[in-house]
Structure 1
């Protein structure tokens, strides 16, 4: 089973299999990728022979044939034109020419199985499982941020060791590490390490340097860097490179490796048929789509190039009822004692599987008079939907992995390496399950359908309302609920002995809704935070003291925000401990005063005040002199490339300035900072944990200034 497949510029295709004695390459000479052309709409009679004759004369086409395939899950088998191509890179250009090469009206033709990544396509069409048969060896190469824009590195991290010196010395160390480790996977802090090392070798006259396992091929560039926007956020995609015989994981462009580990990546490799290198740079939606494509392939269903699913007709009333989102029970702002958090296990994926919610069976014609979806009147066919077959194995696998984690933790001497492997696999599957619901409403999803998105929400609302009613009937008061979680505390109007056992109530709810309701945590207390400038509860901001281990769980506040400097986070967590011990805002203010004094006395190390923010546009695109602009100007002065979608790290030196001197970049030798600015950030962080007590910034500032406000009753 090959762990990577190389498509070389000379036309060779190599399958690389990891063995105990190193990687072995097998050359494949007879591979011809295939795409299909057919009618865009079902039942449309189109004669494809004219297009076939044109393709038969094309130099990049190996062969064509008329075959019967299902162009969609809701379509029966139809005659389509299969086109075999000389090289995987010619599939998209040839598909794009389908309309240009024919006289068919625009919109009548559709192409299928076009935009697959090349290694995934190879595995799918050849029935290849890219899961490594042996453990993969890895080697990490890294460069500090100050070196990333240099044509010649002066410092390099090789297998965890920092190396400095001349280009020849650095290249020699890298080559020695390659020979010693013979890695199957190169883990790079940035993909630009690959071309830069080769350029250094050329300039230094080092002719025998190579990262490749092939003596005659160095590296290939697979894609150029780009900037993109997704759900209102700007992202950056670095250039991608390929080194024959080795998979590359770019730490600056990998979600699953960064969020999990290599074991998590390999678990998804086995499910998606995307080899390690492709899966490492793929997004959650990309991997989920690959898993769905595998299921479609097994069912003989073609994959549309562009999504063109129309939304089913709905009355205005149905549209109103359908567009309601998930269940929300607004949190009661303040502190609550003896709180239990209950979560439905993988609620949305389990709704899909238990209710058979799938694009191919929702609002079917054969049961159109049925009202299967609560409140919407949608019918769901009795035939098993393909999405159920996609998700049920993932749900079952994650349940088994979580059970294995519990068993390992219950041992007297848990195997930490085993735990890390299980946690990585569980985390990877969690992200797929998290994305499966939202992807149904994504307009560019290959097989999504908005009616599925609406139906899942409708079932979820019904389930959460059922749970709320049963909990309240058992003597429990709901203090917050959102989507798949409910927080409850004993109802003060009910005697403790009259409260039903919570586990029994959860079991009853589980049996009724057919989705497991789990006890997530027991808190000594939980505080729900109000929205800023409002008394209403913030849906995702809370913190609490866990009853069993005595730790704190925080969500949404500064300690959980990626931009928060370490010092601010540490002070906020210290204030949480003080609040837990004393329940006194005054004691928290004393802690805050001490932190502010440390700031103004210069005792705080500048590296503890580093902020990390994402750049949303090029420097020239900004119209205001923000901190990001000042940081970008400093980066430009130092010839450091920071692209839209990437992060920039800095310390605020003087926030009153509007020039580049407002900040200092994190890697610079920072000798001073702006204590007034960071004091404001501290006050904001402390406000988050005192606001459930009714305190805001004005109250905190008043206490810091040792002033009081006299009230009328003080004189009575």
Structure 2
């Protein structure tokens, strides 16, 4: 069976399947492919005359054929009559499906379309039962341009396969064409989406003949989508324009999650599970990939996929609403430094709850067991029939467990294979993200397959599991100092004699057997410090740091060193302070490190590149009402004709924070001669406050201590004079 890694759709309806072979990519041309969507009554009670609708569709010039078939319109529904519509080109599916609402004469809401909004290559693989996993290793070529080159219609600098070329357009184009012909890559990895159209514009403008990146002589490239801005979970994102290059998969580093968070091995692992080819997998979101895996399971069960989901929430009493509207269980952390701490984690808690408790949209609150109270507190029933979501997730859980075991075996070898480790870690990371998303996706209103009752049930089970673990650990002689959703931190209870305290590993095994989900010993720490909330004595749920026992390593969460906007200099100083804190447990040594950093700041000896801040732009320049540093940076970018869209990052150095104009900052590509030392001193103090706040120190006390150190140094200097 052919296993094409890329599929191209030509204007005349032909399809090209590209298969990777030891001798290079080989195309197979398919003359006829007619994508299919379905039209049916939204519910069994709706009276729809499919024959009349069929007659109208058959008159449309873009419709190849129609037929009435039987399919399931949901996991809870039996086979029903639906109208299947075959289309002459994949680009016409959505338009023709939309016309179903215009051709009919039925009340709004009676009609529904299915299998409409699939991505092109995924649809082709699904309908033709094709596995797009490449049979041979794919070759890659990287093209990147600096941000200063992205504003114009031509490039004066371009990096090709790690080698930077500068000069006139003809030289740049020659370098790219030579690399393409020499390496003949299967995948083009670009730093920005506009590289492809810009290179072709350069070739046209300069009259360079024969320039092409395509493997198919009839088509240079195709634009699949224009750039756009979107919002997701309160975050603004930017989706660049998407392009297709016949015969080559394209990965846009400015628009890829899985390639950026894992690697090509992680991408390919998900290709094999989702049947979504490399190019589409690279730009897809976590939810998009999870959806395609679920669509594959639905397809195997003969269930169609709704274009727009319309799952109503089941009726429930007001008291149940109150009980259900809760998240995972949290034990507020005890602010301060705790010695001899162990961290225990439930392995893939939410996915394992789904699989061990059979929580799935098609079986939750089933009619056949409506008198049962299976879900704790909420009283929802769960059918005995295996839910489809279990079949989706269990293979992923098992695969990740096997990969993690292989990673441990490789790490324990005397001479571990680094390439093998990189592959395994990429695959493990990709699967982790799918498992992370599967829970929240159940409560997502636009999910193709999801149900809020599943989301509520998973949380209810999770709360019960964490409470049961807490109670058993405490009865075994361990004190819980923090717990959040699937993790719990314990330290020996000082009121229990060592001889009476139960072995932690044995307790974890017992809890595992009781709740049917593995409780793993994640780490042992010499000490852990839980950070208070700013302007409050209460513990911050996700801010802590600790020294890993028997290792020269810290585990850090939530503080500046983990924040993507933190400049490298601030990060390094905070790490130095952590080391001083570990070595002495004395605030004085931490203040000494801070004082040394502040002295270097004001002496102007800190390298400019170590002071770069990177922040995400959340809205267009005109959308801001405050003169923030981001606004100043955006003004500078606009002044230099650099396009920075909402959802993208902007990098700058603060040069004068007292100003409100664009002179407040300088962009990283500019010649920067100075910086605002007072601003960065404030950032340093904030970072050191995170380290010392578990001991009760705040910024006021840190500043007072700094002033005393400076006064002592000045006095000593005066005495010497």
| Matching residue of 1:627 | 629
64, 67, 73: which one aligns with 1:65: 67
Matched, 1:222 2:224: yes
Matches for 1:481-492 after TM superposition, within 5 Å: 481-492=483-494
| Matching residue of 1:142 | 144
Q: CA deviation at 1:593?
A: 0.5
Q: CA deviation at 1:74?
A: 0.8
Distance in 2 of aligned mates of 1:626 and 1:470 = 50
- SS of the equivalent of 1:353 reads helix
| Matching residue of 2:215 | 213
Distance in 2 of aligned mates of 1:195 and 1:44 = 49
Distance in 2 of aligned mates of 1:677 and 1:549 = 35
272, 275, 289: which one aligns with 2:274: 272
Distance in 2 of aligned mates of 1:431 and 1:600 = 43
Matched, 1:644 2:646: yes
Q: CA deviation at 1:622?
A: 1.5
Distance in 2 of aligned mates of 1:128 and 1:707 = 70
| Matching residue of 2:445 | 443
Q: CA deviation at 1:592?
A: 0.4
Q: Provide Cα deviations, 1:385-419, integer angstroms capped at 9, x if missing partner.
A: 00000000000000000000000000000000000
Distance in 2 of aligned mates of 1:597 and 1:435 = 46
| Matching residue of 2:157 | 155
Q: CA deviation at 1:187?
A: 0.3
| Deviates most, 33-42 or 240-249 | 33-42
| Matching residue of 2:302 | 300
Distance in 2 of aligned mates of 1:423 and 1:497 = 40
| Matching residue of 1:317 | 319
- SS of the equivalent of 1:664 reads strand
Q: Provide Cα deviations, 1:342-378, integer angstroms capped at 9, x if missing partner.
A: 0000000000000000000000000000000000110
- SS of the equivalent of 1:122 reads helix
| Matching residue of 2:531 | 529
Distance in 2 of aligned mates of 1:114 and 1:216 = 29
Matched, 1:199 2:224: no
| Matching residue of 2:546 | 544
Contact 2:143 2:159 in 1 (8 A): yes
450, 472, 475: which one aligns with 2:474: 472
Q: Provide Cα deviations, 1:481-500, integer angstroms capped at 9, x if missing partner.
A: 00000000000101122211
| Matching residue of 1:599 | 601
Matches for 1:416-455 after TM superposition, within 5 Å: 416-455=418-457
Contact 2:13 2:88 in 1 (8 A): no
| Matching residue of 1:714 | none
650, 666, 669: which one aligns with 1:667: 669
Q: Provide Cα deviations, 1:228-274, integer angstroms capped at 9, x if missing partner.
A: 11111110000000010000000000000000000000000000010
- SS of the equivalent of 2:356 reads helix
| Matching residue of 1:97 | 99
Matched, 1:77 2:51: no
Q: TM-score if structure 2 supplies the norm length? A: 0.98
- SS of the equivalent of 2:708 reads coil
Q: CA deviation at 1:9?
A: 2.1
| Matching residue of 1:398 | 400
Structure 1: where are the runs of 5+ without partners? 709-716
| Matching residue of 1:334 | 336
Contact 2:255 2:283 in 1 (8 A): yes
Q: CA deviation at 1:707?
A: 8.4
| Matching residue of 2:413 | 411
242, 245, 253: which one aligns with 1:243: 245
- SS of the equivalent of 1:340 reads strand
5, 11, 15: which one aligns with 2:13: 11
Q: CA deviation at 1:75?
A: 0.6
Distance in 1 of aligned mates of 2:38 and 2:605 = 68
Structure 2: where are the runs of 5+ without partners? 711-721
| Matching residue of 1:357 | 359
Q: CA deviation at 1:556?
A: 0.2
Distance in 1 of aligned mates of 2:181 and 2:34 = 35
- SS of the equivalent of 1:23 reads strand
Q: CA deviation at 1:586?
A: 1.2
- SS of the equivalent of 2:230 reads strand
| Matching residue of 2:561 | 559
| Matching residue of 2:43 | 41
| Matching residue of 1:87 | 89
Q: Provide Cα deviations, 1:75-132, integer angstroms capped at 9, x if missing partner.
A: 1110000000011111101111101101011100000000000100000000000000
Q: TM-score if structure 1 supplies the norm length? A: 0.98
Distance in 1 of aligned mates of 2:605 and 2:44 = 72
Matched, 1:508 2:514: no
Q: Provide Cα deviations, 1:505-539, integer angstroms capped at 9, x if missing partner.
A: 00000000000000000000000000000000000
| Matching residue of 1:713 | none
Q: Which ranges of 4 or more aligned residues in structure 1 deviate by more than 4 Å?
A: none
Q: Provide Cα deviations, 1:559-611, integer angstroms capped at 9, x if missing partner.
A: 00000000000000000000000100111111100000000000101110000
Q: CA deviation at 1:8?
A: 1.4
- RMSD after superposition: 0.9
| Matching residue of 1:254 | 256
Contact 2:14 2:33 in 1 (8 A): no
- SS of the equivalent of 1:494 reads coil
Distance in 2 of aligned mates of 1:499 and 1:28 = 70
| Deviates most, 174-183 or 616-625 | 616-625
699, 702, 714: which one aligns with 1:700: 702
Distance in 2 of aligned mates of 1:238 and 1:674 = 34
Contact 2:13 2:32 in 1 (8 A): no
| Matching residue of 1:690 | 692
| Matching residue of 1:233 | 235
- SS of the equivalent of 1:100 reads helix
Q: CA deviation at 1:550?
A: 2.3
Contact 2:38 2:114 in 1 (8 A): yes
Contact 2:6 2:279 in 1 (8 A): yes
| Matching residue of 2:461 | 459
Matched, 1:25 2:27: yes
Distance in 1 of aligned mates of 2:251 and 2:194 = 12
- SS of the equivalent of 2:320 reads helix
Aligned length, in residue pairs: 708
Distance in 1 of aligned mates of 2:250 and 2:445 = 31
Distance in 2 of aligned mates of 1:307 and 1:102 = 20
Distance in 2 of aligned mates of 1:272 and 1:182 = 27
Distance in 2 of aligned mates of 1:707 and 1:661 = 33
Q: Provide Cα deviations, 1:160-215, integer angstroms capped at 9, x if missing partner.
A: 11111111111111111111111000000011000000000111111111000012
Q: CA deviation at 1:10?
A: 3.0
- SS of the equivalent of 1:99 reads helix
| Matching residue of 1:384 | 386
- SS of the equivalent of 1:191 reads coil
